[in-house]
Structure 1
Amino acid sequence: MAVCLEVENLTLGYGDTVVLKDLTFSVEQGEVFVILGGSGCGKSTLLKHLIGLYPPMSGSILIHGRDIARAQGRERREILRSFGVMYQSGALFGSLSLLENVCLPLEEFTRLPRDAREAVARMKLKQVGLAGSEAKLPSELSGGMQKRAAIARAMALDPGILFLDEPQAGLDPVTSAGLDELILTLSANMGITFIIVSHELASIFAIASRAVMLDGASKGVIAMGNPAELRDRAANPKVRQFFNREAQARP
């Protein structure tokens, strides 16, 4: 299986503060790969670096073999176009309809005429189960529907990789399960690679082919592999406690 994301000896943080250090892992094309760990371990910080919002202190982030942290100009734009992002809140523009929200990346990165852009946007909304909702504003949607619309927008340019930040956050169990099913369907039918930040155990076990677990104390990776295998066989007690929802023993 081809590797689409490679993280090599990555150290990152803000200013002089190191959040994570010496991270090395890779993601294969077509995987549903989850970044997990306890609160404050650096999951969101890692995601922001993976999508190029911040430069790392050292190391490299290779997307399809090209380093997003060092690329400039046309090469950087090409890398950015090769993936989509769904932020935790959805980050939809409240004054725009769903159709207009999904059209935005097409307006920015393509020269398609308006009718073609709208046709693509309608198709993407249909793929996430929102056909017929094109004219609605985000405020008219449930939280789950907003997440689906945000995924549709992230898919607008047909990227090979989708980064999702806590997609199940704030959703009830039934809605969350429906979103899990959508992710698996898109992965299976369209070959999309999903890289997902999550701490929702039910979703992690349902969708993840592999996961990497971060630890705030050691500022690094403490486990990697299939979530069910990590739950049942991990040698590190922190890993077992996380997956089995066990409280840490008091000193």
Structure 2
Amino acid sequence: MLTRQRKQHLLEVLKQDGQIVAKSLSEQLGLSEDTIRRDLRQLAEEGLLQRVHGGALPVSPAIGTFAERQQISSDAKPAIGRAAAAMIQPGQVVFVDGGTTAVQLARHLPRTLKATVITHSPSIAVELVEHPHVDVIMIGGRLFKHSIVGVGAATIEAIGRVRADLYFMGVCSLHPEAGISTGDFEEACVKRALSEAALQTVVLASPEKLNTASPYQIAPLSQVNGIVVNAAVAETLIAPYRKMGITITLA
């Protein structure tokens, strides 16, 4: 089998099975694991999959610019934002992440809600400027332009001084085995700090992020209390998360 044919076969297996196990595939094709791993490495360099220990997973499409990501799942994100906003109770202190789905959460907060939103996202803060009863606390740091959020040591230090009731996390990827992950190391560190500083972590997961992986793990799914997903998502996709005891909210 030629290299091009092998790679095409690997992508077809990934699409069909949702994962590639290098050892099993090498036995099936009668090839060495080294050959399969080399092909996977090259496909990962082309951005066509995400390598993980023992094989590969689908790569998240949520790695484009902020403007590009606004066009992905544009119908699902407002519903997810509305459902997440309804979870916030009066008087709570809430971390709200950056990202296009989190912006929808901010837009759907009830005008009567009295609460405190702490965010490292200028986009979220601007969305809440006209909200009459929500106090907004901004966390600074170096601006990570891809996600329009603050990152770095100063950001993490400020987060560590807060104890929030809820953290609404935006992610690039969510997978039962690979956990929650994103495409930038520093951003992963900030998200992890936010989760550790909150009593509960709720992940905002638009459909394209489910069962994918990104390079930097934020945390295992054991750290997640809830996931908000679009109601149209197939039950087979969310069943593994239900089995882990995670509360699934269909938006």
| TM-score after normalising by structure 2 | 0.30
Flag the structure with larger Rg.
2
Greater RCO (CA < 8 Å, at least 6 residues apart): 1
TM-score (normalizing by structure 1): 0.30
